[in-house]
Structure 1
Amino acid sequence: MPDENEGSRPSAPPEYDVFDPREAFTLLTSPRSDERTGSLERDLESDPIPIIRRFYPPLPTDTPTILFNPAHRFIRRTNPREILIYTDGSCLSNGLGGSRAGCSFVISPHHKLGFRLENSGPTGELHPQTSNRAELRAVVAALEYRVWQGDSFGAWVRLVIATDSEYVVLGATERINGWIQRGWRTSTGTEVMNQDLWKRLIYYIKKAARPLRFSGPPHGTAVEFWKIPREWNGEADAEAKRGAQLEGEQEFRVMSGMMV
C-alpha cells in the first residue's frame, strides 16, 4: 500500500538541539499513585482512541535503513518530521517455570535500552514472564520514554514502531477496538491477556496524539506499527536478550530519557 504521505516534504527541516550521546541517561521512577488503582487512563478518558494504523513501506523490499536515515533519530528520508523506533522482547524458557523475559527499544544508533521485564505491572499485579508481554512492554516503554510530539530533537508528526511481533501489531491495529467493545474479552469470550499494558499503550498513543506546540502550529504525533522480519530487528533483539539475562525486577518502572 503506498504511503499517503509519500512525497510530502516540508519547506524547511526543523531545528534540533543535538546533545552529546555520552550525557544521556534514563530516569527510573515508580508509577504515579493513581496508576496503582488503574486510573491512569482517566486523564485522557474523553479523548477518542486515534485510528491506529499499520505502516506499509512504498515497496515491499524497502527496509528501515532504506526509508529512515540513522542520525540523532531514525528519520524518514522523504519527510524529516517522521521517525522510527525499533522494539523487541525476548523470553528464555518461554511458557515454562522460571522463564526470564527482557525488553528493548532503539531510538537512534547512539541510544538503545535493554531491560528486564518486571514481575509486576503498573497497577501492582503480578504477571508471568512471557515473550508476548515482553514485546508489548517494550513498545510501552518506548512511547513513555519521551514526549515525542515535543521531543528536543524535533517536532515529530509520525512515529513508526518497527517490531517483529505479530502479537503487538495485530493487537494494536486490528483487535484492540473489538476487545474494548466486548469488555476486554476476545472473540471467543476469554479474557484478554496483558490488559494492563494494552490500556497503558492506548494511554500513550492518545497522549502522543494530543496537539502540542513545539515548532510551528500545535500538532500531535501519530503512532503506527510496522511488522518487520526478525532479521531486520537484530539490534533490538540482541538488547532484549541481554535484558532477559539481568537480575529480576519486581516493581514496574517508568522510564524517562534525559539528554537523549
Structure 2
Amino acid sequence: MTKVIIFCDGASKGNPGPGGWGAIVASDSHVEELGGAEKDTTNNRMELMAVLEALRYAASLSPAEIDVYADSSYVIGGSTAWGKGWRRNGWITSTKQPVLNRDIWEPLLDVLDTLPAKVRWHNVGGHVGIGGNERVDEIASESALGNPP
C-alpha cells in the first residue's frame, strides 16, 4: 500500500504579475520537487497549478492514499466542496458569477475524480515553520523569478 504526501504552494509577484508554483511529491521511496511559472498570473492560479501538477505526478505512482498539505483555503474548498456544485450549476457560483480559473478547475476536478487513491486534505498555515510548506513556498517564489527547480 503506497502512500503519497504532497505539499503545494503558489506565488505571484504583483497579483496579477509573474507567478510560480511549487510542489513536493513524496512516497516511501521517492521525493520529487516540481515547479513552474507563468508571466502574468495570480496567486490563486498558481496555487491551483501546484496541486494539479502534483496530483498528476502522484497518479503515476499508483498510490492507495494521498495526503495533500496546502495553505490555500480556495484550493481545498474548491477541491472538496464547491467544485461539485460548480459543475452541476454549469460553472456558475452561488452568487451567480462565472467560476474564476475554470480552465484549471476542470482538469483538477477530473484528476480527483479518476484517482483510485483516497485523498485527504490538510489546511496548513503559511509561514509557520512546517518544513514541506516552507520548501514549496521557496520553489514557488523562485519559479516566479524564473528559477524553477
For normalisation by structure 2, the TM-score amounts to 0.85
Q: Which has the larger radius of gyration?
A: 1
Number of matched pairs: 140
Alignment partner, residue 202 of structure 1: 109
Alignment partner, residue 7 of structure 2: 86
Alignment partner, residue 114 of structure 1: 35
Identity fraction in percent = 29
Letter in 2 for 1:241: S
Q: Deviations over 1:182-226 (max 9, x none)?
A: 1100111000011111110122112212xxxxxxxxxxx122221
Q: Once superposed, what is the RMSD of the aligned Cα atoms?
A: 1.9
Shift of 1:83: 2.4
Which of 98, 118, 121 does residue 225 from structure 1 map onto? 121
Which of 163, 176, 200 does residue 70 from structure 2 map onto? 163
Shift of 1:146: 4.3
Following the alignment from structure 1 to structure 2, what is the Cα–Cα distance between the partners of residues 190 and 170? Answer: 17
- The 8 Å contact of residues 205 and 222 in structure 1, kept in 2 or not, is answered as no
Letter in 1 for 2:24: V
Q: 5+ unaligned residues in a row in structure 1: which ranges? A: 1-13, 15-80, 120-127, 210-220, 248-260
Structure 1 segments of 4+ aligned residues over 6 angstroms from their partners: none
Alignment partner, residue 102 of structure 1: 20
Higher strand share: 2
| 2:146 match: secondary structure | coil
Letter in 1 for 2:64: V
For normalisation by structure 1, the TM-score amounts to 0.50
Shift of 1:110: 4.5
Q: 5+ unaligned residues in a row in structure 2: which ranges? A: none
| 1:83 match: secondary structure | strand
Distance 1:91 1:245, change over 3 A: same
- The 8 Å contact of residues 87 and 138 in structure 1, kept in 2 or not, is answered as yes
Shift of 1:173: 1.0
Following the alignment from structure 2 to structure 1, what is the Cα–Cα distance between the partners of residues 109 and 32? Answer: 25
- The 8 Å contact of residues 83 and 109 in structure 2, kept in 1 or not, is answered as no
